[in-house]
Amino acid sequence: MSPKPEWREPRIIPLDRSIEPQIRAAIDGKAKPPGSLGRVEDLATQLALMWHPKPPHAGKATLLVFAGDHGLTEEGVSQYPSAVTPAMVRTFLAGRASANAFAAAAGVDIRVIDAGVAVDMPDHGKLVQAKIRKGTANAAREPAMTGDEARAALAQGHRLACDAIDAGADIIAIGEMGIGNTASAALLMHRLAPAPLNDCIGVGAGQDEAGMAKKHAALERAAARSGASAPFDVLREFGGLEIVMMTGAIFGAAERRRPVMIDGFIASAAALVAIRMTPAAQDYCIFAHRSAERGHTLMLASLKARPLLELGMRLGEGTGAVLAIPIVRAAARLFTDVAALEDVLTGKI
């Protein structure tokens, strides 16, 4: 067994915006009217800045699906029991979840990571055993995890993203599975967006009126228990282990100057933490879609982030991130594969 990685502050180099005019000029010079491909041109520019001085490449993509349980489920914040988390992990490993189907359609590899499932998961060739602890503590009553546990989860997420890049991934996508994690994400958003708690709480995997009342009451107790406001402290107090590992994965991708596809509400909460901790990480984030989960639009606005897709989805698992990857691949090819207009007009093509 390899030793567990140790956490260190990420060394992320912001994109060099001084060369953006020349990159945009190159895109404007392609065989198309300037600006005619809209936001795809913005995406091509972002990718070219990441890869500079090499041309952008967006061939192999890897989806990292992090699974973890939440002590907050003891408060009735979800209609579903924690037993659903390991059941869905088994479904991912069998290749039968929505994320598997979408990844197959988009040509994306999947790695499934046990970040903190509340039961021991049997060894499986497709499962990465990275459990920090068996679920978080109940954040309505005590910190979700210790500082050492949070740092260990950040380090694991960082390592897993770097491992995927070392194995050839040009794009990292992050997704999650964890009953109760919309409650955790709402608390992170409340403190770090920041935003009124009521604006951050949605139905998650599905809640009736009575369930929503329980969820609101539990999160109000959690917020009242701790006044943490520094990003790492907020993560330790209210985060989930899968969310912490996604935060670490964002740092890993950004350090390696690779785009990281941010899925919906939960993954965006991890991005919010990462960006509040290290603002340069935002240069490498591509927000895939706008979730139908209450709070996501406000969370995106707090980051000045513009998602690529709006499909009314709120599943998680990285499904939205995977669906947006073909757009990223197309944007890279706009920069590298499309002829210059001058070559077309002079007969060189």
- Phi first, then psi: give them for residue 311, nearest 5 degrees: -120, 10
C-alpha to C-alpha distance for 110 and 126, rounded to whole angstroms: 9
Query: Among the residues of 39-180, which ranges form H helices?
Result: 39-51, 84-93, 98-106, 147-166
- Phi first, then psi: give them for residue 260, nearest 5 degrees: -120, 120
Angle at 140 between CA 88 and CA 209, to 5 degrees: 70
- The sign of the torsion formed by the CA atoms of 129, 133, 135, 136 equals negative
Report the candidate in 139, 141, 210, 136 with the shortest Cα–Cα distance to residue 178: 136
- 158 and 166 in contact (C-beta within 8 Å)? no
Task: Say which of 237, 242, 293, 317 is annotated catalytic.
Answer: 317
Q: How many helices (H) and strands (E) does the chain have?
A: 14, 6
Known catalytic membership, residue 317: yes
Taking the C-alpha atoms of 116, 80, 267 and 273 in order, what is their torsion angle to the nearest 10 degrees?
A: -70
| Two tokens, residue 132 | 């920090």
Give the bridge partners for 261, in sequence order.
173, 286
| Two tokens, residue 341 | 């207009």
Give the bridge partners for 347, in sequence order.
none
Residues noted as catalytic = 317
